[in-house]
Amino acid sequence: MASHRRPKQPSRARVTVLTVTAAAAVALTAQSAQAAPSEKPTKDEVKSKVDKLYEEAAQATEKYNGAKEKQEKLEGEIGTLQDKVARGQDEVNELRSDLGSLASAQYRSGGIDPSLQLLLSADPDSYLDKASTLDQLSGQQVEALRTIQEKQRSLSQQRQEAGDKLKDLADTRTELGDKKSEVQAKLNEAQKLLNSLTAAEKKALEEAEQRASRNSERTALKAQQDEAKKDSGKSSSSGKSGSTATNTDTGTPGSGKPTSGRTASAYAAAQSKLGKPYIYGTNGPNSFDCSGLTSWAYAQANQTIPRTSQAQTQIGTRINSQSDLQVGDLVFFYSDLHHVGFYAGNGQVLHAPRSGTVVRYEPMSNMPYMFGVRV
């Protein structure tokens, strides 16, 4: 007869050991599965990431500027419409009052049917279409009613237009807030990366920015000196035959001649702001973003140009080849055209680069050039 012994059960101690061993194995496996912590990014890697974030912030800034410009335009249009509606309503009230006075006088003298009182207390549109009513009114009353009818129709259209613009304004304000938040988020992320650097690394980056600004100042001074020498040479040779003025670059930014007096004034205004800080969404006089600088500069030359870089591409004459640029031309960068500056001669651009920098000269080769515009 077969034995039916029950299998021997593991002792409690053995179960405990096995359980602890398994748990330890799982823990070790989990630890080994985790990726080794990444090494701290180098200063150059941080700078590259920060520069990318600043570029993305600049893209969002131009969209913010566009929404802000649209908001200001809508606010002006709505204000104008609301003024028109208020004035129109006053005119309608006055016309109705005059017509009511005329009707009352005629009624007292027995010269008007009492139905006119009902006509004056309701919407004239519902009565003007009824010939039986018109037959009972004088020509003067009919003309007055038609005038009221036309003005009320116009008021209705203006109210509808104002309502549509108010809705558009609400949407634009929402977009403005979204873009502002997007810009700030990019700047905060960039600052967080910068804060991860050591004191020595931060100092090295700051010194690099300071060198760029100093180089810009030296470039500006040299340009002024070269221009003074050039003007002096022209004066001394003005009596010689065959001497002609040219618009060619002299080898340093700012020393060539702009193509027109208006462009010269705008370019000179921009030069006067060398060293002013870049702050997104601003357009002078003490801080600028890229299109804020160019639009402010042209305003000093008594010419209004659009606020955003993308809109500024639609004015003037397009210059595709960089070799055809002249000092003072607007120059645009990146495929989405989110950056603009002034061509400064000798392959240089005068611009407000990005957050953390100042208005300065830089080589155009630092950015992907698209085309120029001569205003």
pLDDT digits (tens, 9 = 90+) for 72-112: 999 999 999 999 999 999 988 888 787 766 556 555 555 55
Which of these is catalytic: 47, 351, 360, 374? 351
The CA distance from 119 to 106, in Å, is 14
Residues 6+ apart with CB under 8 A from 51: 354
pLDDT band at 143 (very low <50, low <70, confident <90, very high): confident
| Residues whose CB is less than 8 angstroms from the CB of residue 353 and which lie 6 or more positions away in sequence, other chains included | 278, 290, 360, 362
Catalytic residue among 186, 276, 307, 339: 339
- The C-alpha atoms of residue 41 and residue 38 are separated, in whole angstroms, by 8
Q: In this prediction, what percent of the chain has a pLDDT beyond 90?
A: 54
Across 295-318, average pLDDT: 97
155 flagged as catalytic:
no
Q: Is the pLDDT of residue 3 over 80?
A: no
Residue 6: the pLDDT is: 53
In tens, the pLDDT along 246-263 reads: 343 434 665 567 778 999
Statement: residue 338 has pLDDT above 70: yes
Annotated active-site residue 4? The verdict is no
Residue 369: beta bridge partners?
333
DSSP character at residue 330: E
Contacts by 220-229, CB closer than 8 A, 24 or more apart? 220/253, 220/254, 220/271, 220/274, 220/361, 222/252, 223/252, 223/253, 223/254, 223/255, 224/254, 226/250, 226/251, 226/252, 226/255, 227/254, 227/255
Model confidence at 5: pLDDT above 60: no
Q: Measured between alpha carbons, how far is residue 326 from residues 251, 263, 266, 321, 371 in Å? A: 13, 10, 14, 11, 12
Return d(Cα 107, Cα 113) in angstroms, integer: 7
Whether the predicted pLDDT of 324 surpasses 80: yes
Query: Dihedral (C-alpha) 111, 115, 117, 122: value to the nearest 10 degrees?
Result: -150
User: Residue 249 contacts by C-beta under 8 Å, 6 or more apart in sequence?
Assistant: 255, 256, 327, 345, 346
Residue 230 pLDDT grade (very low, low, confident, very high; cuts 50, 70, 90): low
Q: What is the mean pLDDT of residues 315-324?
A: 95
Confidence of residue 140 (pLDDT cuts 50, 70, 90): low
Task: List, edge to edge, every strand of the sheet that includes 369-374.
Answer: 317-319, 369-374, 330-333, 339-345, 348-351, 360-363
Neighbours of 156 (CB within 10 A): 13
Whole-prediction pTM:
0.68
Is residue 351 among the annotated active site residues? yes
Check whether 192 has a pLDDT greater than 80.
yes
Q: Choosing from 270, 290, 297, 340, which is the catalytic residue?
A: 290
* Alpha carbon 313 to its chain's center: 14
pLDDT attached to residue 366: 92
Model confidence pLDDT, tens digit, residues 116-135: 544 555 555 555 554 445 45
Q: Which amino acid is at 246?
A: T
Query: Which phi-psi region, left, alpha or beta, contains residue 40 (left: φ > 0; alpha: ψ -120 to 50)?
Result: beta
